[in-house]
Amino acid sequence: MRSKFTWMLTLCFVFFVQIGFAQTKQLSGVVRTEFGDPIPGASVLLVGTNEGTETNVNGNYSLNVKEGDRIRVVFEGYKTVTIRVSESNILNVMMIEEDPFALEEIVVDTYRTTAKEEVATAVSSVTSKTIEGRPNASVIQTLQGQVPGLNIATGSGQPGSSNTQVVLRGIGSINGSIEPLYVIDDVPMSSSRFRSLNPNDIERIDVLKDAGATAVYGNRGANGVIVITTKRGSFESDLSVRYVGTTGVSSIQKNKYNLMSTAEYDDFLNQARADYPRAGFRALNDAQRAINTSWTDVFFNDAISQSHTLTFSAGAKNLASFTSIGYSDFEGILIGTGLQRFNVRSNVDGKNNSGKLNYGLSFNANYSKSDMENSAGTNAVNQNYFLGAFQALPYLNPDEYLGTGKSAVDLFNRYGVAGGMPYMLLDKRRTYLFSQNELKMLVNGNVKYKLSDQFTVANHTGIDYQSINQNSTTHYDAFNELYFAVGGQEYFGRASDIFEERMIFNSTTSLRYENTWNELHKVTAGAYLEYVKAHFKSRSINKRGFDPIFWSDGGSTGWINPAENYQLYAPTGAMGVSNAGLFSYFGVASYDYDRRYGLDATIRRDASFRFANDNRWGTFWSVAGRWNIDNEAFMEDSAFNTLKLRGSYGVSGNQDILDTGLFGAAQLFQTQYSSGVVYNQETGLFVSSLPNPQLQWEEISQANIGLDFGVWNDRLRGSVDVYKKQTDELYLSRPVSAINGSATIAANYGSMKNEGIELNIAGDIIRDDKTRLTLHLNGAYNKNTVLDIPSEEGFFWGGGLTAYREGSMIGELYMPEFMGINPDNGNMTFRTKDGGITEDPTDADNQWLEKSAFPIYQGGFGLDFEHKGWFLTANFTYALDVWRYDNEYYFFTAPTFVGENNLSNDMRDYWTPDNRDATFPALAGSNFANASGSSFYLQDASYLRLRYLSVGYNFKKKDIDFMKLTGLRVYAQAENLHTWSKWRGWDAESNRTVDYGQYPTPKTVSFGVEVQF
Amino acid sequence: MKKIFFSVALAATMLTACSDAYEIEQPGIVTEEAAVFRTPADIGKGIRTIYGLFPRETEISFTSFFTDELGIGKNNSGQGVNDGSYTFLLQAGTGAPQAIWGGYYGSVNRLNRIEHRILEMLETASNADKRLLNRHLAHVYGLRAFCHYKLFSFFTPDYTNPDGLSVIKFHFLQTDDYNNFVERSTVKEIVEFIESDIQKVRNLGGVDDQGLGSGYASMPFIESIVIKLNAMLQTDQSYAKLEDAFNRLMNPPAIDPNDPDAISIPPKYLDGAELETIFTATPFDGGEAIFKLNRTSTDGGTTSGIGLSWHSARFGEGAYMEMGRSLYNELDKLDPSQQGAVYDSIRKDGRYRLTVHGNSKVAPNYASMGAEEYRDEDLLFIGKYPGDIPNRPLMANLWEFRFTDMLLALAEKRAHEGNLTGNVAVDDYSNVESIIFNIRASRNFEDPYGGIPVTMPTDFSSKQAAFARILEERRVEFAFEGHRYLDMKRLGTRAGSPGFVRDPQDCLSTGACSLDPTSHRLTMPIPRSEMIANPRMVQNPGY
pLDDT band at residue A28 using 50, 70 and 90 as cut-offs: confident
Q: How far apart are CA A446 and CA A455, in angstroms?
A: 17
Answer yes or no: is pLDDT of A110 > 70. Answer: no
Pairwise CB contact (< 8 Å): B535 & A677: no
* Residue B15: per-residue pLDDT: 55
Reported as a single tens digit per residue, the pLDDT across A666-710 is 888 889 999 999 999 999 999 998 998 888 888 889 999 999 999
pLDDT at res. B363: 94
CA-to-CA separations, A79 to A49, A97, A116, B19, in angstroms, rounded: 20, 6, 12, 47
- Percentage of chain A lying above the pLDDT 90 cut: 46
pLDDT for A589 equals 92
Cβ contact B334:B354 at 8 Å: no
Q: Which of A740, A655, A666 is nearest to B29 (CA)?
A: A666
Measure in Å the smallest separation between the Cα of A689 and chain B Cα atoms. 9
Average pLDDT over residues B235-241: 97
Tell me if chain A has a CB within 8 Å of the CB of B418: no
- Residues B234-242: what's their mean pLDDT? 97
Alpha carbon A71 to chain centroid, angstroms: 41
Span A244-252, average pLDDT: 92
Contact present, B469 and B487 (Cβ < 8 Å): no
pLDDT over 50 (residue A11): no
Mean pLDDT of chain A: 86
Residues of B in contact with A562 (CB under 8 A): none
Cβ contact, residue pair B22, A529, below 8 Å: no
Mean pLDDT (whole number) for A60-81 = 79
Q: What is the pLDDT at residue A612?
A: 83
The pLDDT of residue A21? 39
Kind plus residue range of the DSSP H or E element containing A542 = strand A521-546
Q: Which residues of B touch A509 (CB under 8 A)?
A: 10-11, 14
pLDDT bracket for residue A4 (50, 70, 90): very low
CB contact under 8 A, A277 and B33: no
pLDDT, residue A709, reads 93
Which of A91-100, A923-932, B211-220 has the highest average model confidence (pLDDT)? B211-220
Separation between Cα atoms, residue A500 and residue A511, nearest integer Å: 37
Residue B329 CA neighbour count, 13 Å, CB half: 15
Q: Does A234 touch chain B (CB under 8 A)?
A: no
Residue A797 burial by Cβ neighbours in a 10 Å radius (0-12, 13-18, 19+) = buried
SS (HEC) of A331-343: ECCECCCEEEEEE
Q: What is the pLDDT of residues A470-482, one digit of tens each?
A: 999 999 999 999 9
Place A560 in a pLDDT band, splitting at 50, 70 and 90.
very high
Residue A186 is predicted with a pLDDT of 78
Q: Using pLDDT thresholds of 50, 70 and 90, give the confidence band for residue A206.
A: confident
pLDDT at position B112 over 70? yes
Q: Which residue among A609, A741, A896 places its CB closest to the CB of B77?
A: A896
Chain B contact for A773 (CB, 8 A cutoff): no
The least confident of A264-278, A431-445, B529-543 is A264-278
Reported confidence tier of residue A537, pLDDT bands at 50, 70, 90: very high
- Contacting A residues, span 276-335, partner chain B, CB-CB under 8 Å: 276-282
- A-B CB pairs within 8 A amount to 280
pLDDT score, position B256: 59
Q: A895 and chain B: CB distance < 8 Å anywhere?
A: yes
pLDDT for B339 beyond 90: yes
Please tell me the predicted confidence (pLDDT) of residue A800: 83
Q: Helix axis angle, B219-233 relative to B236-250, nearest 10°?
A: 160
Task: Count the helix, strand and coil residues of chain B and give each as a percent rounded to the nearest 5.
Answer: 45, 5, 50
Mean pLDDT of chain B: 90
| A449-459 per-residue burial string, b: 16 or more CB within 10 A, e: under 16 | bbbeeebbbbe
Q: Angle at the Cα of A928 (from A924 to A931), degrees rounded to 5?
A: 155
- Give the bridge partners for A243, in sequence order: A310, A1011
Is the per-residue pLDDT at A440 higher than 60? yes
Task: Identify all chain A residues contacting B91, using CB atoms and an 8 Å cutoff.
Answer: 842-843
Question: How would residue B187 be classed by pLDDT, with cut points 50, 70 and 90?
Answer: very high
Q: pLDDT over 70 for what percent of chain B?
A: 92
Name the residue among A418, A667, A682 with its Cβ closest to that of B48.
A682
What band does B317 get if pLDDT is binned at 50, 70 and 90?
confident
Do the beta carbons of residue A606 and residue A699 sit within 8 Å? Answer: no
Cβ atoms A710, A641 nearer than 8 A: yes
Does the pLDDT value for residue A113 go beyond 80?
Answer: no
Cβ atoms < 10 Å from Cβ of A963: 11
pLDDT band per the 50, 70, 90 thresholds, residue B264: low
Q: Report which of residues B332 and A233 the model is more confident about.
A: B332
CA distances to A164, A599, A658, A804, B52 from A174, in Å: 17, 33, 9, 10, 32
At B285 the pLDDT is: 62
Optimal mutation site among B3, B10, B18, B32, interface A, most CBs of chain A within 10 A: B18
pLDDT digits (tens, 9 = 90+) for A509-523: 999 999 988 888 999
Q: What is the rounded CA–CA span in Å between residue B232 and residue B161?
A: 11
Walk me through the domains of chain B, giving residue ranges and CATH numbers.
1-66+85-207+515-543 (1.25.40.890), 217-294+397-419+421-461 (no CATH)
Interface contact flag, A671 B390, Cβ < 8 Å: no
> Which pLDDT band, with edges at 50, 70 and 90, does B52 fall under?
very high
For residue A29, pLDDT beyond 60: yes
pLDDT value at residue B283: 67
What residues of A are in contact with residue B23 (Cβ under 8 Å)? 609
Angstroms from A666 CA to nearest CA on chain B? 7
Contact residues on chain B for A457, CB-CB shorter than 8 A: 3, 7
Write down the pLDDT at residue B79: 85
> How far is residue A994's CA from residue A252's CA, in Å, rounded to a whole number?
20
Point out which residues pair with A82 in neighbouring strands: A72
Q: Are A820 and A829 in contact (CB under 8 A)?
A: yes
Query: Which parts of A420-569 fold into alpha helices (H)?
Result: 421-431, 479-483, 566-569
Res. A395: pLDDT tops 90: yes
- For residue range A768-786, what is the model confidence (pLDDT) as tens digits? 878 889 999 999 999 999 9
Q: How confident is the model at residue A935 (pLDDT cuts 50, 70, 90)?
A: very high
Average pLDDT over residues B5-23: 67
Residue in A closest to B92 by C-alpha: A843
Q: Give the tens place of pLDDT for each residue, A792-818.
A: 778 888 778 998 899 999 889 999 999
Range B352-356 average pLDDT: 92
Q: Higher confidence at residue B16 or residue B79?
A: B79
Top-confidence range, A626-630, A824-828, B463-467: B463-467
The residue-averaged pLDDT of A9-34 equals 55
* Buried/exposed code over B416-446 (b: 16+ C-beta within 10 A; e: otherwise): beebbbeebeeeebebbbbbbbbbbbbbbbe
Categorize the per-residue pLDDT at B527 as very low, low, confident or very high, splitting at 50, 70 and 90: very high
How far are the Cα atoms of A287, A395, A397, A411, A906 from residue A283, in angstroms, in the given order? 12, 11, 16, 18, 20
Q: Which of A535, A371, A370, A540 is nearest to A466 (CA)?
A: A535
More confident residue, B317 or A337: A337
pLDDT tens figures, B272-284: 677 777 787 666 6
pLDDT at B12 over 80: no
pLDDT tops 60 at residue A190? no
Whole-complex ipTM: 0.90
A681 touches B: beta carbon within 8 Å = yes
- Is A22's pLDDT higher than 50? no
What is the predicted pLDDT for the residue at A115?
Answer: 75
CB within 8 Å: A929 and B390:
no
